Structure 1
Amino acid sequence: MTAAAGNGRACSVLITGGAGFVGVNLAAHWLAGGERVRILDSLIRPGSERNLEWLQQHYSDRLDFVHADVRSPHAVATAMQGVEHVVHLAAQVAVTSSLVNPVFDFDVNASGTLNVLEAARRSVRAPSLIFTSTNKVYGGLEDLRLRAEGQRYMPLTERVRARGIDESRGLDFHSPYGCSKGAAEQYVLDYSRSFGLRTTVFRMSCIYGPHQNGNEDQGWVAHMIRKALAREPITIYGDGRQVRDVLFVDDLVDAFAKARHDIDKLSGRAFNIGGGAGNTVSLLELIRQLEQLLERRVALSFDGWRIGDQRYYVSDTGRFQAATGWQPRTEIASGIEALCDWLASSEPQLSYGHMAASAAPMDAGRLGVSG
């Protein structure tokens, strides 16, 4: 399964963490366009081996795979040889995991990113680089005044209601995960300033779509859909009114392509990337959409709020739209249905069938939270 880096062949792009959910979609896009792509991945995350096998089945003639970890400076430097562009996706991705093992979280997210930057800086011809950060760099947003409106929280400030949180918001790293990703993104931006690398940062919100092997700690949209298809109960932490903007992965791939094309003018800048104000959903609202799509109830349970869980976060993507012309094109309903279809087709044990006719109808008020 492992190929030597380069294997004597030049590659246009290196994607670290390229066997993950975002990476496999991005790699497929560029491979389908005729480019040669190199992936570096440790294959630690569940589902990554299956994603890699899918890529190899479809694009084996143009795909190079390096089975390695970004914590290895030598492996990263070797994989970097001869590439023109890097997308650095490899990361420890869960707040909960960072609380259990903050040292591992730092080693992967902060030290691993520094390895990638140093390899790029020391290359004969330094490649351009896009780094994926997180909205968690803005902290818990506790100062944001909210009120409950039906099944969601909404901000009282009109500008935030209309557009979301923009990049002028001060950084406030929460949790070891927020700290490690925040530190990493600041290194990425500074390597543009200090060493002249062409780098940019995507502060990403909630991405969803095919090839996502989500769990309740990360990739929550896919996690909830999988649970619903499997007719298993879903645990909601908090009251379920927390709101996020969600972005279908095809639209994210388009954002990567535009950033790569315009990297010279985007270099040294950070951008919010998400579904924006036009693609928001609360946890309870997502459950309701799934119930309508599946025509049956979804079992729920509730637990306490988790550390660093923002009650409201919506990306203002205006800065990136103004710079590149990009905007999301996939509506939530279409994206959810596409992910349901992919999960049901790729995991035969999941049921996409409707509720039996004898079952009780859905109760329109069933999702309300007391208190």
Structure 2
Amino acid sequence: MRALVTGGAGFIGSHLVDVLQEAGDEVTVVDRLRTEANLQRAIERGARLVSADVTDVPAMLEAFAEARPEVVFHLAAQIDVRRSVEDPSMDAHQNVGGTAAILEAARVGGARRVILASTAAVYGDPVRLPIAEDTEIAPLAPYGASKAAAESYLALFSRAYGLSTLALRMSNVYGPRQSPHGEAGVIAIWCSAAAEDRPVTVFGDGAQTRDFVYVEDVVRGFLAAAHTADEGALNLSTGVETSLVDLAATLGLRTESGPGRLGEIARSSLDPSAAAARLGWRASTPLAEGLRKTLASMRGE
């Protein structure tokens, strides 16, 4: 198929591009291209690159007209929760405005389907775990709110224009190529520390939990979603809670204590059963194996 991946130079996007090309698909990448390091192999294989911001509507219309994608994987986003709190207008511009621009370009360009990379952050901190898709949307930060709004635009374009859309709400994705800097997840930061034999800071009591899902499993979920007609929203997750204390122990890290952080979600685990039923998808990488691969990548092995 002809596929277009926004944010294709990023952590998850570059893995998706690789797998699409391995399947023989024609791939166009739209990215602001702060770095092309993750795309070197894709470029050699013939991936077409468009250096542009997804909020630039004329640029998106032009890119889609040239690429004529059948399926659009929309992964470009502002993903730093702290930045979203500091500058909610910027966050909304990127995540809501960018999604609206992509949907309009997809509609005008005749794309068959748009799949959005959404997040567990739309749920906030619900009482009942694991979190199913019918749980109330109640984000705790502008980032989660902007992703929830982006999902609403998918539903709107589906109703108004018949565009096939699906949002994939990912839990905490980790794996090779995830930067340990900036908006990185805890596993990237802690694997970097383990590779350099540095201690890590555990904020609060360390009992807070996350649902860690390996990037290769997530990519399989996106591919499965591309070949179905399912709409709405689905969780991509393991359904397993892991505490930060247990994560540090698994990585053999020395820890230091820090104060708890305001607004941090205490527990998180998403129910993946709907994705299993509707997409035939399940996460298959045990945490220990995924950590081993991620740590090896950090060490350059």
TM-score normalised by structure 2 residue count:
0.94
Distance in 2 between residues matched to 1:54 and 1:101, nearest whole Å: 35
Tell me the CA shift for residue 91 of structure 1.
0.3
Secondary structure class of the residue paired with 1:39: strand
For the 8 Å contact 1:233–1:301, the answer to whether it is kept is no
Moved over 6 A (4+): none
Secondary structure class of the residue paired with 2:92: helix
Tell me the CA shift for residue 193 of structure 1.
1.8
Match in the other structure for 2:237 = 274
Match in the other structure for 2:63 = 79
Match in the other structure for 1:49 = 36
For the 8 Å contact 2:204–2:257, the answer to whether it is kept is no
Aligned amino acid, residue 123 of structure 2:
Y
**Is it true that 1:182 corresponds to 2:138 in the alignment?**
no
Aligned pairs for 1:191-230 within 5 A: 191-215=157-181, 217-230=183-196
Aligned amino acid, residue 248 of structure 2:
I
Q: For the aligned residues, what is the CA RMSD?
A: 1.6
Match in the other structure for 1:369 = none
Q: 1:216 to 1:64 in 2, by over 3 A?
A: closer
Match in the other structure for 1:34 = 24
Tell me the CA shift for residue 216 of structure 1.
6.6
Distance in 2 between residues matched to 1:61 and 1:316, nearest whole Å: 37
Match in the other structure for 1:128 = 113
Secondary structure class of the residue paired with 1:345: coil
Distance in 2 between residues matched to 1:184 and 1:331, nearest whole Å: 31
Percent of aligned positions that are identical: 35
Q: 1:17 to 1:216 in 2, by over 3 A?
A: closer
Distance in 2 between residues matched to 1:177 and 1:217, nearest whole Å: 12
TM-score normalised by structure 1 residue count:
0.77
Aligned pairs for 1:72-151 within 5 A: 72-81=56-65, 82-123=68-109, 125-141=110-126, 144=127
Distance in 2 between residues matched to 1:61 and 1:221, nearest whole Å: 30
Distance in 2 between residues matched to 1:92 and 1:189, nearest whole Å: 21
Distance in 1 between residues matched to 2:87 and 2:169, nearest whole Å: 23
Distance in 1 between residues matched to 2:159 and 2:144, nearest whole Å: 23
Match in the other structure for 2:300 = 345
Distance in 2 between residues matched to 1:235 and 1:215, nearest whole Å: 15
Q: 1:288 to 1:204 in 2, by over 3 A?
A: same
Aligned amino acid, residue 213 of structure 1:
S
Structure 2: segments with no counterpart, 5+ residues:
none
Tell me the CA shift for residue 55 of structure 1.
3.0
Q: 1:238 to 1:54 in 2, by over 3 A?
A: farther
Secondary structure class of the residue paired with 2:118: strand
Aligned amino acid, residue 53 of structure 2:
D
Selected match of 2:224 from 258, 268, 280: 258
Aligned length: 299
**Is it true that 1:329 corresponds to 2:284 in the alignment?**
yes
Tell me the CA shift for residue 54 of structure 1.
4.3
Distance in 2 between residues matched to 1:211 and 1:19, nearest whole Å: 10
Q: 1:310 to 1:209 in 2, by over 3 A?
A: same
Structure 1: segments with no counterpart, 5+ residues:
1-10, 145-156, 292-296, 347-371
Aligned amino acid, residue 104 of structure 1:
M
Look at both structures and tell me which one has the larger radius of gyration over its CA atoms: 1
For the 8 Å contact 1:71–1:112, the answer to whether it is kept is yes
Tell me the CA shift for residue 29 of structure 1.
0.3
Tell me the CA shift for residue 214 of structure 1.
3.4
Secondary structure class of the residue paired with 1:121: helix
Tell me the CA shift for residue 239 of structure 1.
2.0
Selected match of 2:247 from 268, 282, 286: 286
